Every structure is written in structure tokens, then in C-alpha cells.
Amino acid sequence: MGKAGRAGFFGRFVRDRRGSTALEFAMLAIPFALLVFAILESCISFAGQEVMANITDDVARQLRTGKLRPADVSGTKLRDMICTKLEIMVAKDCPGLLVDLREYPTFADAAKAGFKIQDRDIVLTGTDPVTFTVSPGLAESRNMLRVFYKWPVMTDFMAKSMANLKDGNTLHFASVTWQNEPFDN
């Protein structure tokens, strides 16, 4: 085939517009689908975070007013209570749910308590012991409830940008600090 034959074939190919809509759709469908999945993943994650924050506030209010007593939340009872309410958004038995409830002598001591992500896992700081515990105070004591959930990132391509924990999870966190009311012990 000579130069003229090749130019003629290429020229016909360039001038022919049949199928261009299908080609353009194919080029735009993948980025559009990625954008839709990213929006859905972010929205679901945000909704889960807000549900967890509301549950944490509700449990803290019950502890603050004396409706829930230390015996009501001992052992794994507090975690189970939070998990029951949280199961509307997460898997059964709330894998990845961690709860820390402590009494502090002052609000300044409570403010020093924190956490950090070390080696892509949660580490409590400024508390003794540095393990997750449930030890609520009595009437008029200062308490802090911290709830952590290792939220799984469901869309694989989002895991690198959203995940900050092991196994492609991202950390959801809620905290409430308060002084108990003068209820009867």
C-alpha cells in the first residue's frame, strides 16, 4: 500500500464519526464511576461517625445523670450497650469497637489523656493504665468516655487515601468529658 493508500485509509478513519459517542462514554464512565463510589464511601463513613458520636453522647448523659450506675457498665456491659445501638451501621458484634471510660481527679488531668496512631494501631497516652478500661466515677466525679471504631473502607481503590489503620480501616472516634450530677450513690 502506498502513501496515498495509507493517507486515504487514515483519512477515512478520522472523518468517520460513527461510534464516537460510545467511545466518549467509555472514556468518561470509569472516572464517573470512581467519583460516585468515592462519594458514597465518604458519605457512609461520615454517617457511621455521626451515629457513633450520638450514641456516645447518649451513654454519657445516662452516666452523668446516674441513670446508669457503675454496676450497669462493668466489664463488657458498656461495650455491649454501645454495640447494640451501633449495629445499625456496622457488622454484628461490632468488630473493631474499643471503649475507654475513666474517672479523673480534674478536668486538666482528663485533657492530658489522649491517643495516637502508632504503627497503624491505636495507643492510649497520658493514662494509667494505658489499656482500654471501664472505671466510671461516683456522684460529682469527672469522667471521660472515649469510643473508637475501626471502620472498614469498603472500596479497594479508596483504601490508600482513607485508611489510617491496619487492614485498610479508618479510625472513627468520639469523646465526651463531664462531671457527674449529685445523684445518690
* Domain contains 185: no
Q: How many domains does the chain have?
A: 1
State the pLDDT at residue 21.
84
Residue 162 grid coordinates: 482513607
Mean pLDDT of 170-179: 96
What are the angstrom distances between the C-alpha of 48 and each of 71, 120, 167? 28, 21, 18
d(CA 146, CA 101): 6
Where in the sequence is the domain holding 160, given as residue range(s)? 3-179
pLDDT in tens, 64-102: 999 999 989 998 999 999 999 999 999 899 999 999 999
- Asked whether residue 171 is domain-assigned, the answer is yes
In a domain, 150, yes or no: yes
Residue 149, pLDDT above cutoff 80: yes
Query: Among residues 66, 131, 54, 63, which one has the least CA distance to residue 99?
Result: 131
> Is residue 149 assigned to a domain?
yes
Question: What's the confidence (pLDDT) of residue 4?
Answer: 52
Q: Domain for residue 64, yes or no? A: yes
Instruction: Examine residue 155 and state whether it is found in any structural domain, yes or no.
Output: yes
Query: Using alpha carbons only, how large is the chain's radius of gyration in Å?
Result: 27
Q: What is the pLDDT of residues 32-52, one digit of tens each?
A: 998 999 899 999 999 999 999
In a domain, 184, yes or no: no
Q: Is residue 75 part of a domain?
A: yes
128 vs 123, higher pLDDT: 123
pLDDT at 5 over 80: no
106: pLDDT strictly greater than 90? yes
Q: Would you mind telling me the total number of residues written for the chain in this entry?
A: 185
Cβ pair 141, 180 in contact under 8 A: yes
CB 104 within 8 Å of CB 143: yes
